[in-house]
Amino acid sequence: MGLWRQLKQAVESGAEVHTHSATVRPGDVFVALPGTRRHGAEFVLDALGRGAGYVLLDREPPSAARDLPGNCLRVADVRTALGELARIRHRTASLPLSLLGLTGTNGKTTVSYLLEHILVRAGCRVGLLGTISYRWPGHEEAAGLTTPDCLRIHELLARMGRDGADTVCMEVSSHALEQKRVAGLRFDAALFTNLSPEHMDYHLDMESYFASKSLLFTEYLGSDRTAVINLDDPYGRRLASMCPRVLGYTLNGENAPSGEAVLRGELERADRSGLILGLGYAGRSWRIRSPLVGRHNASNLLAAQAMGLVMGLSEDAFQCLETFSGVPGRLEWVENEAGKHIFVDYAHTPDALENILAALLGLDYRRILVLFGCGGDRDRSKRPVMGEVVAKYADEVFLTSDNPRTEDPERIMDDVEPGLEGAEMVVREVDREKAIHRAMDRLGPEDVLLLAGKGHETFQEVGGRKLPFSDRAAVREYLQEGIGSRA
């Protein structure tokens, strides 16, 4: 019997699989994955010393560990092999789950929440894996990563299956696809929202970024399954030409090919009360109302309905969108007794900021105030571009810290400032809480304030530490302390 077959049988019989040597126990399997800083092959001796029954690796370990015992197996693609072992260990291939993958630069979280809303009201028991949380009926926990590591994904899916979930909406990041964190999975449907510059420190250029996103459709989507694609996005149209089965969606009819496999939308009304969308698909037409605002949310609503159509739902199932109030940290109004118009949003790319600010511009506020920053240890090239977008829309700008991580926040703001040259008024304040206070002091009764970048987050990463911080909490505390004492 070959070693690979023995290893798989051991996992099938209950041997645990680990990617961290410190967690290995006698008889377990250690998979030596490549990491961003160190390779797992450096820890092979440690895993063996802890009694590993098998070791899987894709390169020669350091010289001191080259004389390896016969239970060490070298493979060409250790990440793919890990996916197969995870599938065996957690029996995910046999789970009665419909697995729906969502990818794109912006909109993934909102669409996943919209889709969950539709499916739950259609009688499904839905699990959600995404940027904000991992949850299913009876369980919820804060998300560590948009898409967790391979072993964790399979473990979470197995738990969902045991708890009675029948459908899973999973946000799939480009990093996860590039690093094969979804190895061992097959998706029943996959959605592409859009593509704009992001993670250029990791992908280096848009072609590489697009290639990573495309993997969801070319490697992990069943060949007889449907790709749901935004035809208003040029990368979406390109991706559609690569997929055998496509349901497109569009708010711009000129981007839609002839044929019935396109969901067409028309934005009939967009104001502070929300949206009215007219829709047409396969000879049928319907209308929905939504309290969400902005053209970008009209596209998100189309995306969720297109996925619903792929899942076999009728247009009647989409009327429930009228009761969907929004997603935490996505153009979320901060409720307050003072009647202030304040929104928090997770927007941290130029395209996302453009979408949000364009939506606010269309809501007829007297002035738009924007507070934002840029994350540290990430793509520096987008910093002045984000400044340009804010300067285009904002009457007053409050430049501050986002998550500086290990970078000097003052230097991050230096990178942003060239893009703000055209802004009417710029206040620079590195302390985010103080910056919020200053913005609030400037906020008039007919103005709107956007706090951009952190959205739902309840922490700020500074100097390599996660410190408690919430934009929403900062606003509420300020108002509670200041009502009656501030103009």
Each residue's pLDDT expressed in tens, for the chain with a length of 487 residues = 589 999 999 999 999 999 999 999 999 999 999 987 899 999 999 999 999 999 999 988 876 545 778 899 999 999 999 999 999 999 999 999 999 999 999 999 999 999 999 999 999 999 999 999 999 999 999 998 889 999 999 999 999 999 999 999 999 999 999 999 999 999 999 999 999 987 767 778 999 999 999 999 999 998 899 999 999 999 999 999 999 999 999 998 777 766 669 999 999 999 999 999 999 999 999 999 999 999 999 999 999 999 999 999 999 999 999 999 899 999 999 988 888 999 999 999 999 999 999 999 999 899 999 999 999 999 899 999 999 999 999 999 999 999 999 999 999 999 999 999 989 999 999 999 999 999 999 999 999 999 999 999 999 999 989 999 999 999 999 998 764 344 4
Distances (CA, A) of 23 to 27, 49, 149: 12, 12, 16
| Interstrand relation of 139-142 and 133-136 (parallel, antiparallel or unpaired) | antiparallel
Closest CA relative to residue 128, chosen from 87, 156, 93? 156
Model pTM score: 0.92
Number of neighbours of residue 325 by Cβ within 10 angstroms: 11
234 vs 105: CA distance, rounded Å: 13
Contact 305, 451 (CB under 8 A): no
Residue ranges of domains in the chain, CATH in brackets: 3-89 (3.40.1390.10), 93-323 (3.40.1190.10), 332-482 (3.90.190.20)
Per DSSP, helices labelled H in 206-274 are 206-218, 234-240
Helices 382-393, 409-416: axis angle to 10 degrees equals 60
Residue 394 near residue 357, CB atoms below 8 Å: yes
342-348-354 Cα angle (round to 5):
70
Q: At what angle do helices 295-310 and 350-361 cross, to 10 degrees?
A: 110
Question: 284: exposed, middle or buried (C-beta count within 10 Å: 0-12, 13-18, 19+)?
Answer: exposed
Question: Hunting for tokens 């002045």 — which residue is that?
Answer: 384
Which one-letter DSSP state was computed for residue 421?
Answer: T
Sequence-separated (6 or more) residues with CB below 8 Å from residue 286: 278, 279, 315, 318
How far, in Å, CA of 306 to CA of 191, rounded? 9
Residues 6+ apart with CB under 8 A from 184: 82, 83, 84, 85, 86, 87, 92, 93, 150, 154
Cα–Cα distance measured from residue 71 to residue 3, given in angstroms and rounded to the nearest whole number: 7
In whole angstroms, how far apart are CA 268 and each of 256, 275, 287, 291? 19, 8, 9, 14
The answer to whether the CB of 264 falls within 8 A of the CB of 283 is no
d(CA 305, CA 278): 12
- Asked whether the beta carbons of 65 and 46 are under 8 A apart, the reply is no
Residue 170: phi and psi, rounded to 5, are -120, 120
Angle between helices 350-361 and 382-393 (to 10 degrees): 10
